[in-house]
Structure 1
Amino acid sequence: MYFFSKKQSKKKIKKKLKKSKKQLISKNSKKKLKGIIKINKFGHGFVFINNNNNYKKIFIPKVNTKNSLNGDEVIVKIKKIENNKIIGIIKKIIKRKKNNNIIGIVKKINKNKIIVNTNEFHVDIHIIISKSNKKIKISFKDKVLIKILNWKKNLSNPIGKILKNLGKTGNPITEKNSIIEEYKINNFFSKKVIKELKKIPIKIDKKEIFKRKDMRYVKTITIDPFNAKDFDDAISIKEINDDIFEIGIHISDVTHYVKEGTYIDKEAYKRGASLYLVNDVIPMLPEKLSNNLCSLVPNEERLSFSVIFKMNKKAEILDFWIGKTIIRSDKRFNYEEVQEILKKKKGPFCKEILILYHLSKKLKLKRLINGSILMNTYDLKIFLDKKNYPKKIKLEDSKNSNFLIEEFMLLTNKKISEFVSLNKNGKPSNFTYIYRIHDKPCLKKIKEVKSFIKLLGYKINKFDKKEINNLLKISKKKKEKNIIDNLLMRMMTKAKYSTENIGHYGLSFSYYTHFTSPIRRYPDIIAHRLLEKFIMNKKSESLIRYEKKSNHCSNKEKILLEAERNYIKSIQIIYLSKFIGNIFKGIISWITDRYVYVELLFLKIDGFVKIYKNKKFFIGKKVYVKLIKVNLQKKDIELKIVKNIKNY
C-alpha cells in the first residue's frame, strides 16, 4: 500500500519490515513450504501457508504459477523480497482441487476448438470440439461453465470441457446464473424435501393454540422493505396507562414446522441463509414455509416465539416475558409508508407508530451512551426493467422507519442471549447457546486507519468508540463520508457465530445473538431450539457440536455475502456501461503503487486510474473522472482523471 503526502513519511517502518522479512527469507530460502494457492483476476497467485510459519502468504507472479489452479495444494520456494512483498515460485503441485469447475467467456470459435477466457488463468482455456460439446450450442461472448480436464507440463494452455452455457455476457439473468454456479448455490429443493413439505398441515391445530399465549387481539403490525415476501417479525403494542406500554416482539416460530434432523432442516443448514439477488431470492426454506405458513402476513393466525416487554416512556424495561404465542397481524407496512406517517403524523396506526418511534429513539440513545458504534448506512435501490436490466439505481440514507424496527430487534436479540446466559442471581447459567460475537480491532489496523483519517483532515486522539461516533457524525454530510465508513469497516473484525461468548464490540453488548430472522438465517433457528430447551429445563447441549454448527454458519454467511456483493456489482457495471465517455464527480478512496482508486459519488462504487506519471495523489482528493471502459468479467471500472475539483 502506497500513498503520497508531504506530511507523512514511513521510511523507518518500511526499513524495519524489510529487515525482519529479509531475516525470514534467509532462514527459509532453502525450505520448500506447503500451502494452498489462490489465483487473482490478473493471473498472479498467493500461497497461503498451512504450517507454523511467521508469515501467512507468499506472492507468486503469474509466470511462476507452474500451471497451478485456484485451490490447488502446492509446494512453494521463497525467491526474494520486493516492494515489501515476499515473492516465491511454485515448485510442485501436490494435489489438485477436487471441484475445478470454473466460469469463462467464449473468446474465439475455430473448427476444432473453442477458446475461453477466465479470471482464474493468465492464459486461455482450450475446449477441443467433440460430439459432447456439439450438443451445447455455443456462440461468441457466451458465458460458460467449464470443467478443467488437464494441464500437462508440455501444454501452454489447460484443456477443458463445457458443461453448461449460462447465457450471453452482460445479461442480468446470465450474471445471476453465473453467481449460482460460481458459489455452488442450490437453487432447487430435492424430492425428499418436497415430500416432507406435503405432510405439513396448513391449518393450526387447536391443541397447539391452547398451549400458547393468545396475542391475536392485540394491535400488531409488520414493517419491512416494499419488495419483501417473507415476514419474520411483527411488533404489537398495548397501552397499559399513559406511562407504561406492553411491547411485543413476535418472531416466526419456524422450529414448530422445521424439526431437527428432517430433510427440510438438513437442506436449510446446508444453505445457511437465503440469498438475495436484487429482485429475486433463493430461499433457505421452501416457499410454502418462507412465504406462507411461517410468514407473519396480515389477517392470518400465525405461530410465533415472542418477547413481551413492559416498559415506560423512558424505554426502561420494567418486566419481560419470553415464550410461545399465537398472533394475528393487523397490517403490513413498508418503510416508506411508516416514514410518511412519522413525517405527517397521520395515517393508519399513527398513534402506535409514534409511540414505537419515541421508544426506539430512547433505546438508540441509551445504546450510544453505552458505547455502541453507529455506522452510517444507506440503501442501494436498484430498479429493473421487464428484461431485468437496471434502468435506475438510487442511493438513499437509512430512514427513521428503518431504525424504529432495528432498535427493537437489537433489544430482543440482546435480552434473549442474557436470559439464556445468566441465572436470576446474575451468575452464568453455563447453558450452551449460539452467540453473535464481534471482537475489538487490532492495534495495527487502528494505527493504519488513524493515519489515513489524518490525511483527510480529521484529528483523532484516543480513537475510542466515542471518537469514532463523533467522526461518523461530523463526516455524515461530507463527500468523503463513504471513504471514512469504508476505512472504519476495514478496521473492524468480522462478526461471527460462536458458542464462546466474548460480547459484541460494535454494539457494546456483553451478550448478543441472532434470534429475529429464522425464515432467512439458520443461526436463528439454532437460537430458537436452544432457547426452547432452556425454558423447558432440558439438559445443556454439547458445546463442541454447536461450535461446529456455529463455524459452518459463519462460513456460509461469508460465502453468501460475497455472492450477493458480486451480483450487485455486476448489475452496477451493466448500468455503468451505458455511460462510457461521460464525466463524473469522484473522490480518491485508495492508492497502490500502480493504481489510484476513485469512488464515483453518484453510485458509491470504485473504479481505477492507471498511474502513468509521478503525480501526487492523496486519499480524499476530489476529482472529475471520465469513464473509459468497464469489464464485467473482471468487475473492473477504468477511469481517467480529467481535473481536480476545488470548490466542493
Structure 2
Amino acid sequence: MFPVMERFTNRIMRLAAKSDYKPMKQRALARALNIADEDYNSFKAALEELRRQGKIVIGSKSCISLPEMANRVTGTFQATSRGFGFVRPDKATAQGDLFIPRGESLDAVDGDQVVAQVIRRERRGQEGRLTGRVVEILKRQETQFVGTVLRRDKQWFIQPDGKTITELIAVDDPGAKDARIGDKVLVEILRYPTEGSFAHGVILEKLGKSGTSAAELKGVIRRFGLEEKFSRSTLGETRQVISRFETAETQAAGKREDIRDRVIITIDPQDARDFDDAISLRHTKHGMWELGVHIADVSHFVREGGHLDEEARRRGNSVYLPQHVLPMLPELLSNGICSLQEGQDRYVKSAYIELDRQGEVVSTRFANSVMRSARRLAYEDAELILEGKTGGFEGKVVQLLKEMEKLAQIIQKRREAAGMLRLEMPKAELIYDEKGHVVDARPESTSFPHVMIEMFMIEANEAVARLLDGLRVPFLRRVHAEPDSLATGNTARIVKLCGYMIPKNINRKGLQQLLDSVRGKPESFLINLAVLKSMQRAEYSPTPIGHYALASEHYCHFTSPIRRYPDLTVHRLLEAYLEGRLTRSTVRDFPDFEQLEETGAHCSQTERQAEEAEDELRTVKILQMLAKRIGEDMLAVVVSVTNFGMFVQCEKFLIEGLIRAEDIQRFRQNRKGKKQGRRLQERGGKFIDNCPYRIGQEVKVRVAAVNVPGRLLDLALV
C-alpha cells in the first residue's frame, strides 16, 4: 500500500472500530475525519483499497461499516479480575470485541492469541452483543511470571504480581532454588489454570525478599523481559572503540569543525549522567539568531552491523526506571566518550538554524564538529539564573541563558500560532529514603528552562527531517496521526461531563482554547487525558503523515542518539549527507521503506515496554508507601464510573484507586441520613447511571486498603 494512502486507511479503520460509530456515507465519513478537499481523491482511493481487502463493507444506502463477525474468530484474549474476558479480533468487526463468560476461556490468560467460537448472538436495546467461548490457544503471550512464595494447607504457591494472571500458581519444591515464604521469584508455568485446578509451575530464579527495593526492581526487569547486562562481544567492541578514539583523537578532530572556543552549555536533570545535547546561540551580522544544537555523535562510535549496533537495535532505547537505568549503550560510551561532559572535548553533529526576529527559520546548516562544554547546568541552575540569582555562574553563561530564554519564547509563540498543542499532564517526582523506598512526592518542575530546551530540540529535529525529506530518502520519522474525531465519542462525553463543550467542527485553535480554559483547574488532568487518549500514540514510521500535536509536517528524532535507536539511524543518514554519499540519486543505497517499517515497529514496541515497566515500578513503590498510610486523607479527581464503583486519581501521587459502589452508598447514608441512601436504592438500575458524583469532580478520599501484588488501591470517601 502506498505510504500516502496508508495515512487515510489507518484513520478510517480507527474511526469505524469505535464502539459508538454509526455507519455513514462516504461524504459524511470524510467530514467526520476532517478530510481536506485536496485530499478527497486519496481518501476515496483508501476506501476502495479497504473495500477490496474486505476490511470494510458498503451496505444499504451506501453506508460504510466494518464486516460482521464470523462464527469463528482469531484474536487476543483480554482477561478481567472478575473472571470473564473478551477476545479482540485480529480483523476489526462491526460488533467489536467478543464477550467470553466466566468458565468459557479454556485456560487462556491475558494476552494469549486464541481462536473463539461465537455461541450466542443477543440483542440489548439497539445494540447487539456477541458471546463466545475460547476453543484453542494459538500462542501464549507469557510463560514466565514474577510473584511471591506462600504456603497454604501444606501446598506451596506463587502469588503472581500484576493483573495478567490473578490465580495462584502451584509449585512443588521452592527449596530447590533456596526460596522461602515471602521471597520474590521468577516462575515458569508448565500447566495453565482451568476452572477446577490451579496453574502449575517451576521456580526458575530467586530474586530476593519481596518488598525490598532490589527484589521489586529485579521483578519488574524480569517481568518485562528487559536486558540488564551487555554481551561479552558488545563490551569487547566497546573497548576497541574507546582505544581507537584515544589513539586517533587528534587526527579525527582535525577533520571536524572546531567550535571549542564557543560558549556551549548543557542543561539536564540533576541526576542525569548521559548528556547528549548542548546549545550555543549567537547573533549574525544580519541581525538574525543562529541557534546551534549540538548532539553527541554516536554514529562515529557505533558502526552499523557491529555487535554494539545489533544490541542497541535490539534494546531500542534506554529504560529509565525509578532510581535505576538500563542503558541502550554500555556506560563506557553513554556516560563516557559520547557524553557531552563539562570541559571535555567531544564529537558532535551540529545543526545550525538561522531564525529571524519572529522566530521563522531562514536557513539551516549541518556539520561534524568537535566541542567543549563550558558549563553543565541542571534545570534548577538555569531557573535560578533566569530569576536573576546569578551568583557562582560565569557572566558568559548567564548572558547565553538570557538570550536562550528570549529566543525560546519567540519560537514557542510561533509554534503555538501554527497550532502546536501543549497538553498539561502533571507528573509527580518521587522522594526516596536511603533504602530506596518512596516517602513522599512533589510536583515535577515545569519551569521555563524545560520549555526552552524542548523548543530547541523540536527545531533541530524538524530541521533534519526537512533535509532528509528534501532528499527523498526514506527515514524513520516520529509520526503522530491526526485524531479521528474529537467532537464525538468518549472525548466529547468526558468534556461535557466536566462542564465544557467541544464544538462540532473543532479545529486546532478550538482545541487550544479548550485546553487553555481548564489550565490549573481540578478537571484539567481529566480533559487533557481525554484529549490525549483520543489521539493515536506517537510512533516511529517512515510514513510521511506528520506530527499532529507539534503541528509539524516533517518530524523525526535526532537529538538523543545515546538513548534512542531511531535517532542513531537518522544520524547515519546525516553522516552520509555530510560526506556526500547521500543524494537524490543514491537513495537506493540506504535502508528502504519496508526495512524502516520493521525497525520503526520494533522501536515503538520497545518504547512502550520501557514506559510500562517504569509505570509498573512507580506504582509498586507508591503502593508500598500507601500501605503504611492506611487511614490517611488526600484529594482526588473522579476519572471514571463503572457499575461496581468509581475510579479516582490521587492528585499528589498520581495513582488511580477504586471507591466501591456499596461504600459510596454507605457514605451517603451516613452523611445525609438514611432517606438519602434509600433514594439511591429506590432509583434502581445501574450504579453507573445513578452515581451522585460527576467525572472531573474533586473529592476527598481516605486510603482504605492496599494490595501491592495485585497493584490495587481501595479508597473511601471522607
TM over 0.5: yes
Conserved? CA contact 1:230–1:295, under 8 Å: yes
| Equivalent of 2:226 in 168, 172, 185 | 185
2:81 corresponds to 1:37: no
2:238 alignment counterpart: 197
Match of 1:208 in 2: 252
Query: Cα gap change, 1:51/1:477 in structure 2, threshold over 3 Å: closer, same or farther?
Result: closer
Say yes or no: does 1:170 pair with 2:218: no
Match of 1:90, SS state, is strand
Assess if the C-alpha contact under 8 Å between 1:482 and 1:604 holds in 2.
no
1:593 aligns with 2:669: no
Work out which of the residue numbers 242, 261, 279 in structure 1 matches 2:305.
261
Query: Partner of 2:339: helix, strand, or coil?
Result: coil
Task: Confirm whether residue 413 of structure 1 aligns to residue 461 of structure 2.
Answer: yes
- State the shift of 1:563 in Å: 1.3
2:595 is aligned with what amino acid?
A: R
Letter aligned with residue 72 of structure 1: D
Consecutive unaligned residues in structure 2, runs of 5 or more: 1-18, 24-64, 666-679, 681-690
Identify the residue that residue 629 of structure 1 maps to in structure 2: 705
Cα offsets for 1:423-480 (capped at 9, x unmatched)? xxxxxx3211111111111127754212321221223324322122222222122122
Change (3 A) 1:350 1:186: same
Residue 481 of structure 2 corresponds to which residue in structure 1? 439
Corresponding residue SS for 1:135: helix
Could you tell me which residue of structure 2 aligns to residue 384 of structure 1? 432
Residues in 1 aligned to 2:486 and 2:407: alpha-carbon distance in whole angstroms = 39
Q: CA deviation at 1:117?
A: 4.6
TM-aligned CA deviation for residue 587 of structure 1: 1.9
> Secondary structure, in 3 states, of the residue corresponding to 2:367?
strand
Determine the C-alpha separation between the residues in 1 that align with 2:93 and 2:529: 31
Is 1:582 aligned to residue 658 of structure 2? no
Partner of 2:613: 563
Alignment counterpart, residue 401 of structure 2, candidates 346, 350, 353: 353
How far apart are the structure 1 equivalents of 2:486 and 2:129? 20
Give the match's secondary structure for 2:692.
coil
Match of 1:403 in 2: 451
Q: Give the 3 Å change call, closer, same or farther, for CA 315–302 of structure 1 in structure 2.
A: same
Call closer, same or farther: CA 1:326–1:28 in 2, change over 3 Å: closer
Verify: 1:482 aligned to 2:482, yes or no.
no
Distance 1:325 1:194 in 2: 26
Aligned to 1:7: none
Query: 1:564: Cα distance to partner?
Result: 1.3
Cα gap change, 1:609 to 1:217, in 2 (>3 Å):
same
- Distance 1:393-1:163 versus aligned 2 partners, 3 A rule: same
Counterpart for residue 50 of structure 1: 90
The CA deviation at 1:128 is 1.7
> How many angstroms apart in 2 are the aligned matches of 1:288 and 1:301?
16
- CA RMSD in angstroms comes to 2.7
Aligned-pair CA distance for 1:151: 3.9
| Separation (CA, whole Å) in 2 of partners of 1:219 and 1:115 | 58
Call closer, same or farther: CA 1:252–1:27 in 2, change over 3 Å.
Answer: closer
Please tell me whether the aligned partners of residues 479 and 540 of structure 2 are also in contact (alpha carbons under 8 angstroms): yes
Asked whether 1:517 is paired with 2:560, we answer yes
* Alpha carbons 1:35, 1:73 under 8 Å: kept: yes
Partner in structure 2 of residue 92 of structure 1:
135
Name the CA shift for 1:420/1:89 in 2 (closer, same or farther; >3 Å).
same
Partner of 1:534: 577
Q: 1:121 & 1:65 partners in 2: Cα distance?
A: 13
The aligned residue for residue 639 of structure 1 is 715
Report if aligned partners of 1:414, 1:509 keep a CA contact under 8 Å in 2.
yes
Instruction: Tell me, yes or no, if structure 1 residue 292 matches structure 2 residue 333.
Output: no
Specify the alignment match of 1:498 in structure 2: 541
Identity of aligned residues (%): 28
The answer on whether the counterparts of 1:452 and 1:619 sit within 8 Å (CA) in structure 2 is yes
Equivalent position of 1:472 in the other structure: 515
Q: Provide the C-alpha distance between the structure 2 equivalents of 1:253 and 1:585, rounded to a whole number of angstroms.
A: 47
Counterparts of 1:26 and 1:353 in 2: how far apart (Å)?
58
Please say which of residues 40-49 and 413-422 is displaced more in the overlay: 40-49
* Secondary structure at 1:486 match in 2: helix
Question: Is the partner of 1:503 in helix, strand or coil?
Answer: coil
Q: Which amino acid is 1:269 matched to?
A: R
Q: 1:485 to 1:154 in 2, by over 3 A?
A: closer
For 2:533, give the aligned amino acid.
R
| Deviation of 1:73 (Å) | 3.4
Residue in structure 2 matched with residue 448 of structure 1 by the alignment: 490
SS in 2 for 1:368: helix
2-side partners of 1:368 and 1:152: how far apart? Answer: 54
The two structures have a TM-score, normalised by structure 2, of 0.81
1:106 aligned counterpart, secondary structure? strand
Q: What TM-score, normalized to structure 1?
A: 0.89
Offset of 1:34 from its aligned partner?
2.5
Count of aligned residue pairs for this structure pair: 615
Residue 170 of structure 2 is matched in structure 1 by 126
Q: Shift of residue 402 of structure 1?
A: 0.4
Residues 20-31 of structure 1: matches in 2 within 5 Å? 31=71
Q: Which runs of 5+ in 1 are unaligned?
A: 1-12, 18-23, 423-428, 643-648
Distance 2:325 2:102 in 1: 37
